[in-house]
Amino acid sequence: MEKISSSPKIPEPKGGHKDRSHWLYIGVIIAVIAGIIFGLVAPDAAKGFKVLGTAFVHLIVMMIPAVIFCTIVLGIGSVRAAATVGKAGGLALAYFITMSTFALAVGLVVGNLIQPGSGLNIEASRGAADSLVAKNAAESHGTIDFLLGIIPTTIFSSFTSGNILQVLFVALLTGFAVQSMGKRGEPILGAIAHLQRLSFKILNMILWLAPIGAFGAIAGVVGQTGIESVKQMAILMVAFYITCFLFVFVVLGLILKIFAGFNIFKLVKYLAREFLLIVATSSSESALPNLMRKMEHVGVDKSTVGIVVPTGYSFNLDGTAIYLTMASIFIADAMNKPMDMGEQIALLLFMIIASKGAAGVTGGGLAALTAGLQSHRPELLDGVGIIVGIDRFMSEARALTNFSGNAVATLLVGKWTHTVDRQRVYDVLDGKIPYEEMPDDTHVDMHNPTVSNDPAGQLQPTPQVDIDKYSH
């Protein structure tokens, strides 16, 4: 009798994976230009197309609970894995949290100084945000009621309530509970890791609709405000790029020079090929394998590189942090609903947690931005459609800043743990010991924050769910 399989088999896709993200980038550029022209030529008709941008934002909002839950639960597991490695892991985590918080603060300062979007007076379309606003209005604004509102009626109701803080609360409880289970919790973390991959896959599918959403959002905004909106979006992009440039070469440069004695300009020159790769792909994940190899070549011990670099891709998000706060302020100002300092600080604290895991994931920054606004100022949700049109133009600066921050962090932790050959660093950065390229036959998953090395010296990802690997 023929045995019937209890689980259906899903055929593997034929052929290798091809990166087609450049087509999405080109599509967004064309859509933005077309939206601007349409908004200027036929403003009355263009206003009706704003619904396309609103629909795109609603699709992003749909994925927020799953993305936040999986990212936070897996993030807690990776914190334990990194911290138990010892001094390198502890120093790296402390540095990452400090720098990403500082970057968020930098974004708030710059956003309040330039006040991007001021004077646009963009009206919010009626959409999903309306129900959230009405729900929040019906609740008391007292501190006690606010705290009680974070506790969901049931664990599962947090995913349907529209309250992201409830999802965050459940995710934190789940993460620490699974963590305390030790090896018995590994299957649970493995299942959540698969759910995270599914969530980001769906999110990536949604992002292919970005040209349509960008066209509708830009056309609607330009049709309502005229050429002024184009000027304000250009100001935001230029200000963001300048802020990221100064953050890398001034802030990170001074930290690297003062605490390690190395030159940021020589380091950037050494990593020039990786910077070009990031510009081409708009993702810092594409350069992760080469960064690890080059950090080892420059003189940092393999064990330090294996902990600091992959963990930094989830926790050291300087560029993303700056983007989140500047974009939030832009949306609030553009909709003539500015945030007071208390709301900005509350948003900053939320972003510190919600932004973890956004680096290297297409759409991760946009998802974190949407989650932050949904939890603190849901009436601003429809304003995310304005950012959709220019988000891709700012992704390179985000990725380059994140990448630079991780390179600097590796040298700093190596210096603090005495696991770096300082003389070799000077010789490599001065060009005396050139780096020899090797075939890129390995891939390191940014969602696996710990990396080991086999006897042959090849980088191999260590499964993230092995949370007790380093506890002995």
Whether residue 313 contacts residue 95, with contact meaning beta carbons closer than 8 Å, is answered with no
Q: How far apart are CA 215 and CA 252, in angstroms?
A: 37
Q: How far apart are CA 305 and CA 231, in angstroms?
A: 43
* pLDDT on residue 22: 64
How buried is residue 466: exposed, middle or buried, by Cβ count under 10 Å (0-12/13-18/19+)? middle
> 402: how many CB neighbours lie within 10 A of its CB?
30
Rounded to two decimals, the pTM is 0.68
Q: How far apart are CA 325 and CA 111, in angstroms?
A: 7
* pLDDT on residue 276: 81
* pLDDT on residue 318: 85
Residue whose entry in the numeric block shows the structure tokens 């609603």? 58
For residue 383, give both structure tokens: 């304003």
CATH code that applies to domain 21-435:
1.10.3860
How buried is residue 102: exposed, middle or buried, by Cβ count under 10 Å (0-12/13-18/19+)? middle
Mutual angle of helices 364-376 and 50-83, in 10-degree steps: 100
> What does the CA dihedral 206, 207, 208, 209 come to, rounded to 10 degrees?
70
* Phi, psi at 42, each rounded to 5°: -130, 75
Q: How far apart are CA 228 and CA 205, in angstroms?
A: 32
- The distance of Cα 185 from the centroid of its chain, to the nearest Å, equals 26
* pLDDT on residue 35: 85
Whether residue 193 contacts residue 74, with contact meaning beta carbons closer than 8 Å, is answered with yes
* pLDDT on residue 127: 47
What string of pLDDT tens digits covers the 472 residues of the chain? 444 444 445 555 555 455 566 677 788 788 888 888 888 888 888 888 878 877 877 787 788 788 778 877 876 766 666 555 567 778 888 888 888 888 888 888 888 888 777 766 666 554 444 444 444 444 444 456 656 777 888 888 878 776 777 887 888 888 888 878 878 888 888 888 888 888 878 877 887 887 888 888 788 878 877 777 778 888 888 899 999 999 999 999 999 999 999 999 999 999 988 888 777 656 666 677 788 889 989 999 887 887 788 777 767 778 888 888 888 888 888 888 888 877 787 777 777 766 655 544 555 667 777 777 777 777 777 777 777 767 777 877 888 898 999 999 999 999 998 889 999 999 999 988 888 765 444 444 444 443 333 333 333 333 333 333 333 3
* Domain residue ranges of the chain, discontinuous segments joined by +: 21-435
